[in-house]
Amino acid sequence: MKEVKNNTIQALIGLGNPGSKHYYQRHNIGFRVLDVLADTYGASWHTKGEAEQTSITINGHIIVLIKPQTFMNTSGRVIPSLIKQGIKAESIAVVHDELELPFGQVKYKLGGSHKGHNGLRSIIGVCGADFVRIRCGIGRPANKDDVPDYVLQRFTESEQDIESMIQSAVGMIESFFK
């Protein structure tokens, strides 16, 4: 697997759906990871265009954090704002839920297809596929027809296990900047 160099990531996009009723759903793990990063580094969220945005500094590297407020299927609408800020696709990392990984497993990869994830599909449609993905495993339901409902359900795992996955994702992100 290609290593992420500490000088390449300038923006982290956490995928999720806006609103408190969605916050604890599987599909919103990207928002939750970014919220922990913002809290850890003392950052406050503000609205900028169609997103909540803030910046943090990890080991001297400034990283823009973005939570699209457009709903999952149109997450890519935040990309033009990043491009205006001089941030290219290859300098973006997207934190998202991943059906293909067992619950709690966190991995990253560079590029690839959307594999049916509508948030990734939207981002790829705007800027191509050459960005880092931080994949937070949510497992997969036995019946593939259940996927749309599954991702919009609250986690059934313990809050401690969910927090452990979030901390693993935060640790992985921090390791990119050492």
Q: In what order do the strands lie in the sheet with 132-137?
A: 46-48, 51-58, 61-68, 11-14, 92-98, 132-137, 106-110
CB atoms inside a 10 Å sphere around CB 174: 14
C-alpha dist (Å) from residue 78 to 14, 52, 58, 87: 11, 10, 23, 12
Q: d(Cα 127, Cα 140) in Å, to the nearest integer?
A: 28
- The DSSP call for residue 18 is S
The active-site residue out of 22, 27, 46, 117 is 27
Q: d(Cα 7, Cα 92) in Å, to the nearest integer?
A: 11
- The DSSP call for residue 21 is T
Q: d(Cα 5, Cα 43) in Å, to the nearest integer?
A: 24
Catalytic residue flag (residue 46)? no
Which residues are part of the catalytic machinery?
A: 27
